[in-house]
Amino acid sequence: MIYLLTSNILQISPEGIIDRYPNSYNHFVLPFVIGISFILVYLFIGLVRILYHLTGEDRIKLLKSLFKPKTAWKNIKDIFCDCLLHTKIWKRKPLLGYMHSAIAFGWFLLIVVGHIEVWLFAPRHLSGLTEGSLYYPIFYRFFIWINPAHETLRGSVFFFIMDFLLLYVLSGIGLAMFKRVRSIALGMRHTTKPSLADRVALYSLWLIFPLRLLAEGFTADLSGGGFLTRPLNWVFRAFFGNELNFLPTWWAYSICLGLFFLAMPFSRYMHILTEPLLILMRNAGLKVRKPRKGFAEAEIYACSSCGLCLDACPMNVQKKNLKYSSVYFIRFLRRHNKRKTREIADKCLMCGKCYALCPVGVNSPAIRRALRETQNNNIKCDYSYLEDASSKSSATLAGKAGGKILYFAGCMSHLTPVIIKSVETILKASGQDYEFMDRNEGICCGRPLMLAGRTEAAQKTIQANSRIIRESGCTTLLVSCPICLKIFKEEYSLNGIEVIHYTQLVDRLIKEGKLKVSKSSSAIVYHDPCELGRGCGIYEEPRNVLSSVAELKKASKERDESICCGYSMGTLTLDEKDKAKIAESSVTSLMAENPDEIVTACPMCYRAIRSKAEVPVKDFAEIVCENIEK
């Protein structure tokens, strides 16, 4: 009947492709058109808002980066790998990676190949909005009739590809459904609780592709189809006998698409559209300045709420503390819930594991710090004494360390005297000329203030210390505390003075033959301190050295997955009992292979682990000292 009604306006294209509808329009496309228009407008406004809240300097930086060939290439590569292929998830959890890439990359290809198909066979419909270019490629199979006698090889290839891609996406959707029921099968112990918008978007996303299969199955005898849709069509015809029921299916398909796009901005699925922007901004070198605006907003909306950070967060040893994980932090930020975000921001250990393991790379520790800054930067204290202390130290040290190593122990090493003693022994044994910057008194490196969001106060200690270091004339600044190391590397400008952690120095001394060590029979395990590993990327040097002084065993979680010792400077409000629980879980991970001793390279970790471990705990320098060849 439809053919009769429309036969007078059938248009014949070169390959026997005929538009079945006048103006290629049917009311069922409306839900989709409304949805897609809404999301496009929303995206545009969101983009403008984010760009508006960037500082002028950042905006120029972003713009310039787009035209630098190196960054541009990195942008393309990152967008392809992170947004479509999800290589980061693949590396850690292959099945989960397959699920994500099947949905993202599969859907992306469906859209691209679909458009190519239209461009090849019905190019007129891509030429403008009046020709339906907004929806036509999506519902292409509905609008055409292909004369079976005119089917070409080229057309059949497309039928095959499109069906194959649909199958690919459907396999991902199937896994996603399975994951909702049993997340552990895909390698996730904890998953997030979806909000209402998440549910709407999620269920419509689940339905989109099965409905597409149904809809294209119903029309396969008219539009043609591949190995999935055509057999489906035979089955349907055998059961239903006519084609009258296919319009409701196309309606359902369009409604699901529309619903998905309408729910998207209020759901986790906004990450699909925000992540590319985040990649561009990150590659341009932008930093979080405000906790909810500008770059941070891109980070917040790029969070896919996948919950991988729940398994990463050291707080997860206690179920009650799971609420402090990044995923909930970001969710409350999105909802502008000030009370909860503040509580979570202050509670966090700032160990950075969520950031290291985040498939999107949302830097939530930076956002937390920015949020702390809005509250704590205004606390006024009198730091005038710093200038005196700085001048005094400068006067005694000036020029003395010319060409030598300057050792800065820092507050925490002073509270753990075994570290200082061992570092000095190593320096003497290897014939290094050095000066001790803070033997009797010193100024804090500023990192704890920085972590607490007290940026201005931190800058004051940074200035005071910088002066002493620069005037000492040293060429190398040696630190024994990773907390100091991080801020010396990131915030100090020291005119080319090398900042080095003692694990790096010892590694170098051994390689240069200046320090000789012997190997003991003791089996040890190394705990990666957060600030040293994830913070400064130092994983290899301590392991090189330790494997030459003892037998190095593995922890169940190590390197960038290492579990924080719980006593991080980063937390402002976590209480002792919760810290102790985290310390216990860190020790449990370290004891996986029953080592005789635990070794770490951070005074905080040393103290924390010692309070919980049943085997001896040693500092890196201490165990090196024990094995120096005399």
Partner 1 sequence: MKNNILVIGGGPAGLEASAVLSRMGYNVILAEKEKRLGGHLAKWDRLFPDQTPAKEVLDGLLDGIKDVKCFTETDVNSINLLDRSFNAMLSNGITILADAVLLASGFDMFKAEKKEEYGYGIYDGVMTNADMEQVFREGKTFSPAPKAIGFVHCVGSRDEKAGNPACSKVCCATAVKQAIETKELYPEANVYCFYMDLRMFGRHYEDLYLRAQKAGIRFIRGRVSEVAETSEGRLLVKAEDTLSSRPVKVTLDRLVLMAGMRPSEAGHKVGRQLNLSVEEDGFFSSRDGFLSLQKSKLPGLFYAGACTGPKTLPDTFHEARSAAMEIDRYIKENFRK
In the bound state with partner 1, the residue whose beta carbon lies nearer, of 247 and 389, is: 389
Contact string 578-597 vs partner 1 (x = CB under 8 A)? --x-----------------
Selected range binding partner 1 among 196-204, 270-278, 412-420, 593-601, rule: CB under 8 A: 412-420
Among 43, 72, 398, 418, binds partner 1 (CB under 8 A): 418
Instruction: Please report how close the Cβ of residue 413 comes to partner 1 at its closest, in angstroms.
Output: 10
Q: Side by side, which strands form the sheet with 498-501?
A: 434-436, 405-408, 476-479, 498-501
281: tokens are 């901004």
Instruction: Please report how close the Cβ of residue 610 comes to partner 1 at its closest, in angstroms.
Output: 7
Instruction: Please report how close the Cβ of residue 607 comes to partner 1 at its closest, in angstroms.
Output: 6
Distance CA 116, CA 291 (A): 42
Instruction: Please report how close the Cβ of residue 394 comes to partner 1 at its closest, in angstroms.
Output: 20
Instruction: Please report how close the Cβ of residue 483 comes to partner 1 at its closest, in angstroms.
Output: 16
Q: Are 492 and 465 in contact (CB under 8 A)?
A: yes
Selected range binding partner 1 among 280-288, 456-464, 530-538, 606-614, rule: CB under 8 A: 606-614
Instruction: Please report how close the Cβ of residue 417 comes to partner 1 at its closest, in angstroms.
Output: 5
Instruction: Give the distance, in angstroms, between the CA of residue 331 and the centroid of all CA atoms in the same chain.
Output: 15
Distance CA 484, CA 443 (A): 11
Say how many Å lie between the first and final Cα of the chain, rounded.
Answer: 99
The verdict on 400 binding partner 1 (CB under 8 A) reads no
User: How many Cα neighbours within 13 Å face the side chain of 12?
Assistant: 6
Selected range binding partner 1 among 247-255, 330-338, 477-485, 603-611, rule: CB under 8 A: 603-611
The verdict on 440 binding partner 1 (CB under 8 A) reads yes
Distance CA 457, CA 414 (A): 22
Instruction: Please report how close the Cβ of residue 300 comes to partner 1 at its closest, in angstroms.
Output: 35
The verdict on 415 binding partner 1 (CB under 8 A) reads yes
User: How many Cα neighbours within 13 Å face the side chain of 467?
Assistant: 18
The verdict on 393 binding partner 1 (CB under 8 A) reads no
Instruction: Tell me the site size for partner 1, rule CB under 8 A.
Output: 15
In the bound state with partner 1, the residue whose beta carbon lies nearer, of 225 and 603, is: 603
Among 65, 316, 416, 504, binds partner 1 (CB under 8 A): 416
Among 20, 447, 557, 610, binds partner 1 (CB under 8 A): 610
Instruction: Please report how close the Cβ of residue 419 comes to partner 1 at its closest, in angstroms.
Output: 9
The verdict on 527 binding partner 1 (CB under 8 A) reads no
Instruction: Please report how close the Cβ of residue 575 comes to partner 1 at its closest, in angstroms.
Output: 9
Helix (H/G/I), strand (E/B), else coil: 146: strand
Distance CA 511, CA 28 (A): 72
Which residues 6+ apart lie within 8 Å of 382 measured at CB?
none
Among 607, 626, 627, 628, binds partner 1 (CB under 8 A): 607
In the bound state with partner 1, the residue whose beta carbon lies nearer, of 286 and 604, is: 604
Per-residue burial over 407-434, b if 16 or more Cβ lie within 10 Å, else e, is bbbbbbbbebeebbebbbbbbebbebeb
The verdict on 629 binding partner 1 (CB under 8 A) reads no
Contact string 420-439 vs partner 1 (x = CB under 8 A)? xx-----------------x
What is the residue-wise DSSP string for 396-430? Answer: HHTTTTTTSEEEE-HHHHHTSHHHHHHHHHHHHHT
Among 179, 190, 414, 527, binds partner 1 (CB under 8 A): 414
Among 135, 218, 269, 606, binds partner 1 (CB under 8 A): 606
Task: Calculate the CA dihedral of residues 232, 236, 238, 242 and round it to 10 degrees.
Answer: -140
104: tokens are 């993202």
Distance CA 336, CA 369 (A): 17
Phi and psi at 102, nearest 5°, equal: -60, -45
Selected range binding partner 1 among 61-69, 257-265, 395-403, 414-422, rule: CB under 8 A: 414-422
β-strand pairing of 11-12 with 17-19: antiparallel
The verdict on 417 binding partner 1 (CB under 8 A) reads yes
In the bound state with partner 1, the residue whose beta carbon lies nearer, of 165 and 582, is: 582
Handedness of CA 126, 132, 135, 139 (dihedral sign): negative
Beta bridge partners of 161: none
**Cβ of 554: how many Cβ atoms within 10 Å?**
13
Instruction: Please report how close the Cβ of residue 609 comes to partner 1 at its closest, in angstroms.
Output: 12
Instruction: Please report how close the Cβ of residue 598 comes to partner 1 at its closest, in angstroms.
Output: 15
Instruction: Please report how close the Cβ of residue 406 comes to partner 1 at its closest, in angstroms.
Output: 18
Binding site for partner 1 (CB under 8 A): 414-418, 420-421, 439-440, 576, 580, 606-607, 610-611
